[in-house]
Every structure is written in structure tokens, then in C-alpha cells.
Amino acid sequence: MTSDGIREYLWKNAQKDKRILYLAGGCFWGVEGYFKRIPGVLETRTGYANGLTENPTYQEVIGGSGHAETVKIVYNENVIHLEELILHFLRIIDPYSVNRQGNDVGVQYRSGVFYPDETQRQRALAVIQQYETQQRRKTAIEVTPLAGFYDAEDYHQDYLDKNPYGYCHISLRTAAEPLIPYKIHKDGSPDALRLRIGDLAYNVTQNSSTERAFSSIYDNFYERGIYVDIVGGEPLFSSDAKYKSGSGWPSFTRPITADALEYVVDESYGMQRIEVRSRQSGSHLGHVFDDGPRESGSLRYCINGAALRFIPYDAMEREGYGAYRIFVK
């Protein structure tokens, strides 16, 4: 089974915390096609939102009803953060364009986040404002309350599934690319790596060894920040997801982003377990089990502390992890 297949199996059986987000990003065929490919997204519907009339038809929308082509996204908050969905959204739109995306022009193609509650507004704005600060430029994205959503006609639903060569202003392949690209550290040789990280971390990450239970400094460590791969430096877990499992190893309910880890079937020692590795460095981290807290998705990422390096929240910007601050509350 592939890593994506294992991940899909794990999260399909994880406890669900269903949430809904409404995104307008130009032609809804492509926006829906993209988000259907994102782990943690459970359902999508194309429709029309925030216009002047009720139950509009497509012809009425293009005729000036004021609605935006919008995708209703039902997702599992235990698997993917709202913040991740907004980052995906920013990746596939031109955030500075007014009433236009790609070749499509008109008020119905404006970009927007239409929120059903105040918490969503605050979380979405935090991501957009961080993006604007990084880019040093204001976006043209509407962040406004949802004022009516009406399903589009049946032929607009799952359009690119039914018409795989149909029009799409978005490259759907980008859905499989890392959400936040990170250039990992590379050592010149195995000996150089061992010298830098030490024998224990080397044996854990490179030879799939396991540290002794209750031996890690991170076992009962709960400071605010993120945990990164000691080998390549790529972000793995947020302190928000860390909890006391009593297992003797640092435990987390979820990775920092849905695409952060690789999953491998491990049949060593006469058992069948799911091993987790860092996506870019390929470091062995530990295993994931289904006996975690139900309210957080039921998963327990049991991780060797020797495979981790902790970055305090206040040092994240300085150490090049500023983009991940939105994942630490």
C-alpha cells in the first residue's frame, strides 16, 4: 500500500470533527477539483453565494445576480486545519485580482472567504494577514459573512471528474506538492550526519531504532513551539497537538500539516504497524496508532524524541519557520 493509501485509510477511520468552509476562487470547477484532492476534505459542492437573489440559476448569475461561484468544503478538523485550507486557497488563486481569475472575468469570479461564524473569520484573517505581511502587499480577497449558499446545477457538480479534459484555470497537480516548501538541511556523508546529531539520533532516524521509554527530554515537555526533523529540519508537529499519553514516548494527535509525513507498513518483530517518516528526509520517526484521544481524532503519533528538535515559538521567525506560526496557538 502506498503512503497516500495508508494515510487515507488512517484518516477515513479517524474520529471526525466536521466543519464547513466556503471559498470563492474563480471558476468553481477547478476550485472544487483541487480541494477534492486534499487529505481531510470529506465533501465538496459547487454553488452560488453572497448575491442579491435566492436560488439563482447559472444564467442569472452570469447575468448579474451578484453571486460568486463558490465551493462548499466539508472537512475534518481533526485531520486538516482551516489554516491549511486557506493556504491551499492562496496557492491556487491570484489574490490581488479583482473580479477575475485566469481568463474568467466578472463579479461572479471574485475571490472570497465566506464564513459562517466569527471564529472562522479570525482564523482566516490571521492566515491572510500573515501572507500579506510576507508579500508586503494587500490582497483583494473578500472575507465576509456567508449570506446564502445555493447549490449549482447538477452538471456543475464534480465537473472535472466527469470531464477530465474540461476547462480548468488551476493546475490540479499542485495539490500533491508540499503546502509550505521547505529546503531541508543535507549533510555531506553519513559520518558527517552522525557527528552532527549523535549516535542515538542517527540510529533512530537512519536505522529505525527505538529509544528507551521515558528517556526523551520531550516526553513530559509542553512548551509552545514546533518540533522539526533533527536530520533535515522539516517541520513535523505543533505543540498544540502534543499530549501526555503515558506511553513513555512523545505523543501527538496529528502532524503539523496533513502532508508532513510519509506512512509505511512495518511488519518487523512479527507485528504489523504503521511507521511514520519525515516526508523529505525520510527519517524514521516512530509509529502511529489508533488509541489516541477520541476528541482529537483517535490517532496517537508515538515519536522518538531523538528524532526531533524543538523550536520555541519566539524563535520560529528567526530560525526560518515563521510561516508555521499560524499552527501554534
Q: What percent of the chain has pLDDT over 70?
A: 100
User: Which fold, 190-327?
Assistant: 2.170.150
Across the range 16-37, mean pLDDT stands at 96
Mean pLDDT (whole number) for 43-71 = 97
What pLDDT was estimated at residue 50? 98
Give me the pLDDT at residue 183, please: 86
Report residue 280: phi and psi, to 5°: -95, -45
Confidence (pTM): 0.92
The answer to whether the beta carbons of residues 38 and 82 sit under 8 Å apart is: no
Q: Provide the pLDDT for residue 6.
A: 82
Instruction: Using the predicted structure, report yes or no on whether residue 11 has a pLDDT greater than 80.
Output: no
Residue 168 appears among annotated catalytic residues: no
Region(s) of the chain under CATH 2.170.150.20: 190-327
The tens digit of pLDDT for each residue in 95-130 reads 999 999 999 999 999 999 999 999 999 999 999 999
Q: Average pLDDT of the chain? A: 95
Instruction: Give me the catalytic one of 41, 113, 302, 316.
Output: 302
Percentage of residues of the chain with pLDDT beyond 90 = 89
pLDDT at 241: 98
Fold of 3-176: Peptide Methionine Sulfoxide Reductase; Chain A (3.30.1060)
Question: Averaged over 213-238, what is the pLDDT?
Answer: 98
Mean of pLDDT values over 23-37: 97
The dihedrals phi and psi of 65, each to the nearest 5 degrees, come to: -75, -10
Q: Is the pLDDT of residue 1 over 90?
A: no
Tens digit of each residue's pLDDT (9 = 90 or more) over 167-210:
888 999 999 999 998 888 888 899 999 999 999 999 999 999 99
Q: How confident is the model at residue 275 (pLDDT cuts 50, 70, 90)?
A: very high
Beta-bridge mates of residue 13: none
Range(s) of the chain covered by CATH 3.30.1060.10: 3-176
Spatial distance between the Cα atoms of 232 and 126, rounded to a whole number of angstroms: 28
Q: What is the separation of C-alpha 169 from the centre of its chain, rounded to a whole number of angstroms? A: 22
157 is written with which cell numbers?
Answer: 457538480
